[in-house]
């Protein structure tokens, strides 16, 4: 069996704010939590993908300070331009929009970017060869 990517684990400066962000903008939910090594450890996942990939967050991290042209990010696919626009509008109201919606040539597609409470950038895209509706798209 080849190795399979199953999780990403990060320390964050504000655990509750990070949970709220990923629930609100990404539709993730807490699927497990426990006390460990003197702090609370939280597992989050997208509904229906709990056995495929989880996001583990725990307190104690430093906030990241990325430049607006730093494209290090976590990427989420959505099913329409309108969904990208809706997320961007909500993020703008919340003060966490960093990349307004924009269209780039294939395979990038239409996307926006948000800053999570820990300073990580989170992209929401439509039209990439990954995620909803991508089965018919060629891999670049």
Q: What is the pLDDT of residue 124?
A: 98
The pLDDT assigned to 36 comes to 74
Check residue 48 and give its pLDDT: 95
- Residue 119 is predicted with a pLDDT of 97
Q: Are 52 and 7 in contact (CB under 8 A)?
A: no
**What's the Cα-to-Cα distance from 111 to each of 45, 64, 81, 96, 101, rounded to whole Å?**
22, 22, 8, 15, 5
Give 76-98 as a DSSP string: EE-S-HHHHHHHHHHHHHHT-EE
- Would you state the pLDDT for residue 45? 98
pLDDT at position 100: 98
Query: pLDDT means per 10 residues in the chain (140 residues)?
Result: 95 97 98 88 97 96 90 95 98 98 95 98 94 77
The residue to which tokens 């990208």 are assigned: 84
Go through the domains of the chain in sequence order and give each one's CATH number.
7-59 (3.10.180.10), 63-140 (3.10.180.10)
């Amino acid at each position: 069996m080849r190795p399979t990517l199953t999780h990403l684990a990060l320390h964050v400066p504000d655990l509750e704010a990070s949970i709220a962000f990923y629930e609100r903008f990404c539709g993730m939910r807490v699927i497990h939590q426990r006390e460990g090594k003197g702090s609370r450890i939280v597992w989050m996942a997208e509904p229906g993908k709990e056995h495929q990939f989880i996001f583990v967050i725990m307190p104690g991290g430093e906030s990241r300070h990325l430049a607006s042209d730093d494209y290090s990010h976590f990427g989420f696919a959505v099913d329409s331009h309108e969904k990208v626009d809706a997320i961007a509008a909500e993020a703008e109201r919340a003060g966490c929009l960093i990349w307004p919606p924009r269209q780039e040539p294939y395979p990038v597609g239409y996307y926006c970017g948000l800053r999570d409470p820990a300073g990580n950038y989170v992209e929401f895209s439509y039209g990439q060869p990954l995620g909803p509706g991508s089965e018919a798209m060629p891999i670049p």
